[in-house]
Structure 1
Amino acid sequence: MVERSRNPTIIDVANRAGVSKSVVSRVFSGRGSVKEETRQRVLSAAEEIGYVVNAVARAMVAHRTYTLGAFVRDASTPFYGYLLTAMQERAAFHGYRVVTATGSGRFAVADERRALEGLMMLQVEALIVGSGALPAAQIVPFAERLPTVVAGRPETHESITSVFCDEEEGGAALADHLVELGHRHVAVIKVLASDSITMAPRTAAMVKRLRQRGARVLEIDGPLRDAAGRWATEILRHPEITAVMAPSDRHAVALMEQLHLRNVAVPGDLSVTGYDGIGDLTTSLIGLTHWRQPIDLIGSRAVDALVRLLDGETPPDHHQAVSGSLVAGRTTAPPAR
């Protein structure tokens, strides 16, 4: 018979962190003062040994639900799916449960607002909002009633706490990559803020940096959904174009498929870049050049910030811009002509 290992206890955490059991209890209950250095040591020790707070027991004692509400725009997409997973894992570490609501990607702003209202009706203690479409003005009323953090988009409204990837850094770095390869005529699939609060600043940064570096830019605007064929047709009207910058990995792959149907080789005829670096599209089989967002870090920091707000503390950074990294793959190369 296989003997099961026991679950770590609060005493194990105390021993690992070199503090008393009462200090560990104060850290996880939020009652009483604990120095920040000690708090971080306790949290690190708990993570190292796999200790998870018993949220049900805590709720019975404290008369709280220890439940967070999380809304993501479309959990079927890699970005929001991985973000939600990261938030759920970090919430469990802190001893919180997560109830979720998700749209289909086609939700109107009013639908997203109603989804947040539905989460509040479930008596959640706080909210995490993951949406590139819901304006800050629609989120502020919720933030005035419950601790609220916006995750995964560049939100800098003074009333909202946020954690996001530095979109301008990513867009500029990808543009630099193409210029350094020798590209001087580049098309950018540009996104309006009304279509995506996340993709708009990154594509604007692409255009800005390309022009700063002396490249000529063809801006292609318009709807994002099912538009790859139109993009390919427009790009091929301009034979001087040697590279295309897409607003996300999935848009880049959709564009490459349309280019393939038109017998355009990538990167032989056109170089293509994406953005996100999440999920199956990062496979070496595609070898997509992209900017990788540290989605696990964004999700965990968003929950950390929310827990601090629930504990009556102020997060170290009201708006946390997290750096990503350039992944130079096989879809970019020096121009052939």
Structure 2
Amino acid sequence: MKRAKTPTIVDIAAEAGVSTSAVSRALLGQGDVSQEKRKRIEDAANRLGYVANAMARGLVSSRTKTLGVVLRDVRKPYYAFLQAGMQSQAERRDYRIVATTNAGELEVADALREIRNLISLQVDGLVIAPARLPSAEFASFLERVPIVVSGRRESIRGISSVACDDTDGGHALAQHLLQLGHRRIAVVLVDESYSVRYSSRGLAMIDQIRTGGGTPIVWKVPTDHDAAEVATARLGDADVSAIMCPTDPSAMDVLEVLRQRGQSALADYSVTGYDGYGPLAAPYLG
């Protein structure tokens, strides 16, 4: 089927009986167009199915009101919550979000490709959340677009960052278990090469357990996805009363292992996660 001609401001001007400059000012929201004329222009644009070319508008104004977002792993609820929060704040400021992610770990080469693709769309700024992407790999793009890294602290000048204090969080979570009376506590410790944040949480948990007079039983894993496997292998011979996981999805995996063993949280073990996925764990409790 032949594609219909894309309407332009010339078509809108003819339809509304006004000048092209009036159409341009009205569609840009500039104030020197009467309400009556603005309504005629908007009605004509709607009838014709006109959609503004954001790229062309950006070339004129040097801004596209668009932010690019690179997310690490769409399977992790944390990144869905992160995107939802950014989307909400962007809309309040009349910006739109163009996001790219992956159904799994986003490797360095893939992340860099997506960054280049977003910059080619003339985005006004970038938020980068793949934790495994070294800052040095994308620092050269700072000359073209402002960049904010989410999830870790940055030392490279010019790169802003937003991050939680995972050490403090790990300490607080372990202290809570100690206050509940737990003394032998399993800690699922993720390899630092996979995630500095997850590793930092685990190390902080281990440190606080020792400081508080407990005994940490360290279960080392390559990634947080391996929590179920290590729990299956170690629970039988581990005299522990609590299991600390680096993320909420890994805690869910451990809860499923307990369910398969005829056990549960609260009744048999205390299980902790991290990041805010808690409500979905309700069917596994008690």
1:191-230 maps to which residues of 2 (within 5 A)? Answer: 191-224=190-223, 225-230=225-230
Amino acid at match of 2:233: T
Partner in structure 1 of residue 233 of structure 2: 233
**Is the contact made by 1:228 and 1:254 (CA closer than 8 Å) also made in structure 2?**
yes
Residue segments in structure 2 that go unaligned for 5+ positions in a row: 1-52
Displacement, 1:154?
2.3
- TM-score, length of structure 1 as denominator length: 0.63
2:155 to 154, 157, 178: 157
* Residue 143 to residue 203, structure 1, CA distance change in 2 (3 Å): farther
Q: What are the superposed Cα offsets for residues 227-284 of structure 1, whole Å, 9 maximum, x if unpaired?
A: 403323213212x211110011111111111122123332232211111114xx4247
Displacement, 1:217?
0.9
1:239-254 maps to which residues of 2 (within 5 A)? Answer: 240-254=239-253
Structure of larger gyration radius: 2
* Residue 114 to residue 60, structure 1, CA distance change in 2 (3 Å): closer
| Aligned equivalents of 2:79, 2:226: Cα separation in 1 | 19
1:57-206 maps to which residues of 2 (within 5 A)? Answer: 59=58, 62-151=61-150, 153-159=151-157, 160-206=159-205
Amino acid at match of 2:237: R
Q: Of the two structures, which has the highest relative contact order with CA contacts closer than 8 Å and spacing of 6 or more?
A: 1
* Residue 284 to residue 98, structure 1, CA distance change in 2 (3 Å): closer
Q: RMSD over aligned Cα, in angstroms? A: 2.5
SS in 1 for 2:106: coil
- TM-score, length of structure 2 as denominator length: 0.73
* Residue 286 to residue 143, structure 1, CA distance change in 2 (3 Å): farther
Amino acid at match of 1:276: D
User: Percent identity of the aligned residues?
Assistant: 37
**Is the contact made by 2:221 and 2:230 (CA closer than 8 Å) also made in structure 1?**
no
| Aligned equivalents of 1:180, 1:228: Cα separation in 2 | 26
Residue segments in structure 1 that go unaligned for 5+ positions in a row: 1-54, 288-329, 332-337
Amino acid at match of 1:79: Y
| Aligned equivalents of 1:62, 1:236: Cα separation in 2 | 65
* Residue 58 to residue 210, structure 1, CA distance change in 2 (3 Å): farther
| Aligned equivalents of 2:262, 2:123: Cα separation in 1 | 53
**Is the contact made by 1:74 and 1:81 (CA closer than 8 Å) also made in structure 2?**
no
1:292-303 maps to which residues of 2 (within 5 A)? Answer: none
| Aligned equivalents of 2:59, 2:144: Cα separation in 1 | 23
Displacement, 1:71?
0.6
Displacement, 1:172?
0.8
**Is the contact made by 1:75 and 1:84 (CA closer than 8 Å) also made in structure 2?**
no
| Aligned equivalents of 2:178, 2:206: Cα separation in 1 | 12
| Aligned equivalents of 1:174, 1:227: Cα separation in 2 | 18
| Aligned equivalents of 2:233, 2:180: Cα separation in 1 | 24
Amino acid at match of 1:218: I
| Aligned equivalents of 1:207, 1:186: Cα separation in 2 | 9
Partner in structure 1 of residue 32 of structure 2: none
**Is the contact made by 2:252 and 2:281 (CA closer than 8 Å) also made in structure 1?**
no
| Aligned equivalents of 1:236, 1:61: Cα separation in 2 | 67
**Is the contact made by 1:187 and 1:235 (CA closer than 8 Å) also made in structure 2?**
no
**Is the contact made by 1:69 and 1:127 (CA closer than 8 Å) also made in structure 2?**
yes
* Residue 64 to residue 284, structure 1, CA distance change in 2 (3 Å): closer
**Is the contact made by 1:136 and 1:155 (CA closer than 8 Å) also made in structure 2?**
no
Q: Which has the higher helix share?
A: 2
| Aligned equivalents of 1:74, 1:204: Cα separation in 2 | 23
**Is the contact made by 2:76 and 2:249 (CA closer than 8 Å) also made in structure 1?**
no
* Residue 91 to residue 83, structure 1, CA distance change in 2 (3 Å): same
Displacement, 1:106?
2.8
**Is the contact made by 2:185 and 2:240 (CA closer than 8 Å) also made in structure 1?**
yes
Amino acid at match of 2:279: T
SS in 1 for 2:68: strand
| Aligned equivalents of 2:273, 2:246: Cα separation in 1 | 6
| Aligned equivalents of 1:202, 1:193: Cα separation in 2 | 10
Q: What are the superposed Cα offsets for residues 165-222 of structure 1, whole Å, 9 maximum, x if unpaired?
A: 2211211111000000111111100112211233121112111111111211111112
The number of equivalent residue pairs is: 232
SS in 2 for 1:162: strand
